[in-house]
């Protein structure tokens, strides 16, 4: 089917008490894996690209092949800009068919974050916009920051002033690889849920234990992002193929190994999010 807006997907998840898996893709094979996994699990899904990924291939390229692959399946697929770093990039993605946008002004002072976010919401018109307050720590592309937890009172003000469709919280997750077992501030999430009505988003979920992910979903998280974990899964599978078959020179074969590994992991994460079987919700 044609690409769909993320707004309806996340609102359905909010009503149903589950989350939509939002998976970052770096190339065509990872997009294939994500969409095939969602189709097999009858699950709605978001395919995401970061600002860094869009330096590797522009929004026109990802918009083209994601929309084409989505047409071959019956499950709803949204294409999302993850950690958009400027109004200009958000505009490019909107023009090239992205159906969901994130603008990340979390490193800016509060009022500057509000101003930037409002500019993207105004530009986007009917395209839903996600934004972040507080800072998810770690490194995502060129975005490298120390964690700063979301203040619930500021969160309510931020959402009201910006008009965003979904809100990314900072409760102890981090981008990249965790050095230890993360411990999330679940009670803070509950406090944010009390004062923010739009769907909540969890970033930096790669490596977060399954029980903590489930606890977050129970407390209002409607979108769960996975990036680093899929990059590692893809790369490990390609390395293993090349190591065991060093005489192969056909990229289709080792890239297919990466695609198969990512698909298997995405299926597991869709089950964790509870979105399997929810394509018609």
Task: Give 107's contacts (C-beta < 8 A, 6+ positions apart).
Answer: 135, 143, 145
Nearest to 237 by CA among 212, 259, 222: 259
Q: Among the options 39, 72, 82, 211, which is catalytic?
A: 82
Rounded CA-CA distance 102/82 in Å is: 5
Compute the distance between CA of residue 280 and CA of residue 10 in angstroms, rounded to an integer: 13
Give the integer Cα–Cα distance in Å for 254 and 245. 9
Mark whether 144 is an active-site residue. no
Query: Which residues are CB-contacts of 55 (< 8 A; sequence separation ≥ 6)?
Result: none
CB count, 10 Å around CB of 195? 14
Residues 6+ apart with CB under 8 A from 23: 30, 34, 45, 46, 47, 48, 225, 226, 227, 230, 266, 269
Cite the active site residues.
Answer: 82
């Amino acid at each position: 089917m044609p690409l769909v807006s993320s707004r309806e997907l996340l609102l359905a998840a909010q009503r149903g008490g589950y989350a939509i898996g939002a998976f970052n893709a770096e190339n065509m094979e990872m997009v294939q894996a994500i969409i095939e996994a969602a189709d097999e699990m009858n699950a709605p899904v978001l395919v995401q690209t970061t600002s860094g990924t869009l330096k590797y291939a522009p929004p026109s390229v990802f918009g083209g092949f994601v929309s084409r692959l989505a047409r071959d399946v019956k499950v709803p697929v949204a294409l999302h800009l993850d950690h958009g770093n400027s109004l200009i990039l958000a505009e490019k993605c909107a023009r090239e068919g992205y159906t969901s946008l994130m603008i990340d002004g979390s490193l800016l002072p509060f009022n500057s974050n509000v101003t930037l976010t409002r500019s993207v919401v105004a530009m986007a018109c009917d395209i839903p916009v996600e934004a972040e307050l507080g800072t998810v720590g770690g490194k995502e592309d060129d975005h490298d920051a120390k964690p700063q937890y979301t203040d619930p009172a500021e969160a309510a003000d931020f959402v009201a002033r910006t008009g965003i469709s979904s809100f990314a919280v900072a409760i102890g997750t981090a981008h990249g690889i965790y050095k230890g077992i993360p411990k999330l501030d679940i009670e803070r999430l509950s406090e944010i849920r009390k004062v923010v009505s739009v769907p909540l988003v969890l970033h930096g979920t790669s490596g977060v234990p399954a029980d903590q992910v489930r606890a977050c979903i129970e407390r209002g998280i409607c979108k769960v992002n996975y990036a680093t974990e899929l990059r590692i899964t893809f790369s490990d599978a390609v390395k293993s193929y090349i190591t065991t078959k060093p005489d192969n020179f056909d990229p289709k074969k080792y890239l297919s190994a990466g695609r198969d590994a990512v698909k298997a992991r995405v299926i597991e994460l869709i089950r964790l999010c509870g979105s399997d079987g929810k394509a018609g919700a």
